[in-house]
Amino acid sequence: MTLDYPWTSNGDTEVFPITLLAELTMRAASNAIREKPNWWIKIKDPLIVTNWRQELLLESRTREVRFHLSEEQIDYVFNELDWFARKRQEQVDDAGVEVPIDVGVEGTRRADGLIPEALKKRLLEGVEKLMDKPDHLKDWHPGSNNQVLDLVHPSLFPFVTGRTRVTEQEAIPPLEFIAAGKTQDATPTSESTLHFSQRFYSDDHQWLPTDFDVTSERKVKAKSYINNLHPVEHKEMYPVLEEILERFLPMFEEVLSEIQEFWHKPRVLKATNDRYGPDPEFAEDHWSDSDDDDEDEDEDENEEGDGDGGAKPVKTPKESKKPKYIDSDEYYRTRLPLPIPIPDFTPREDLPRYNLKTFTTPLQVIVKLANIELTPENPSYYGGTWHVEGMANENI
């Protein structure tokens, strides 16, 4: 499917409107409430809401952050939470299933209780079989301190230009015939004509997705081999992953719908040039007469005489000098940020939602399975780094 979500010309380009730290703090506060069990029920209790408000204020005041939550910001957060709770109930009434939760990070959703216990049990049984291999064949993720064991990973056997062989048929063969058919050597990719930095694009490697069909009954069926998951040895894993993807369809649709809003979605708080209040009274004690002192010294060293060892020309003082704050860190510490105007909460406009069963093209999914293993020697895992998956040629 084609989405209006292009790669930028370089890594520093700002694509979307800037989000202020104050707004990110509000999002984090809202998500903290939505992580509480049955928050959509408890938010109807005024006493509980009062306690939650005090928790957010106290946490905001004790954390070392540049912006602390104000009463007006917390008012906005809880007005939005009331709206989230109403929308959630409407969706549950319509669909009768668990609703994806907006976690305050664009293009990201989570859902509690999405996978039933019986399906989870089948998944774990398949994972146990994947883990049943000698230690020297285990693929520990680089930099994970032997805590993250990659079971199915697209980088293990990706497409390699000039080496990977491809089938001549245009149609994807059924799983039971995946090893059959005449093959030919893949031709190297020609020189890229893309208009962005080459660090976003690989001419050598590419992850291999799996095509999944979505039926009109919202059933999901794999059309091709899942890379690094043998279709015979691990045949039982295929229907398990298909059922899990069925459960993920509402989250996929939410994210795809939100992506289309990125270009037009306004920020709650608007960035302005007037970010700080007036200088403190003692500020004049920290200004120097010029920011050209170092430059003058450099010019003195670089100026030469007439070549016979004569005296250097006498320099006249510059007519105008720019003031310079001696300690810029202190300057910004002592200037208070101006209060940011907090608008009244306005419910978001209901936009057309994606429905994956109406798409004529299959879903392309890159499957990953990993197990986090803790031991007495390595008892804690602190997670990985936030990152974007894949490169431009994978177009995830």
3-class secondary structure, 16: coil
User: Cβ distance 236 to 333 under 8 Å?
Assistant: no
Residues in the chain: 396
Beta bridge mates, 149:
140, 371
Strands (E), 182-247: 183-185, 205-206, 210-214, 220-222
How would you write the pLDDT of the chain (396 residues) with one tens digit per residue? 344 445 554 444 445 667 888 888 899 899 999 989 899 999 999 999 999 999 998 887 766 655 678 899 999 999 999 998 998 888 776 666 667 777 777 778 888 788 999 999 999 999 999 999 998 999 999 888 889 999 999 998 888 887 777 766 655 555 555 555 555 555 554 554 445 556 677 878 889 999 999 988 889 999 888 998 988 899 999 999 999 999 999 888 888 887 776 655 667 777 665 555 555 555 555 555 544 445 444 444 444 444 444 444 444 444 444 445 555 666 666 666 666 788 889 887 777 778 887 877 888 999 999 999 999 998 999 888 777 788 877 877
Residue-by-residue DSSP string for 297-324: HHHHHH---SSSSPPPPPPPPPS----E
- Angle 113-115-116 from CA coordinates, rounded to 5°: 90
* 354 contacts 253 by C-beta, under 8 angstroms: yes
Instruction: Of 194, 214, 195, give the one whose Cα is nearest residue 203.
Output: 194
374/218 Cα distance (integer angstroms): 37
Helix axis angle, 117-131 relative to 237-261, nearest 10°? 110
- pTM for this structure? 0.71
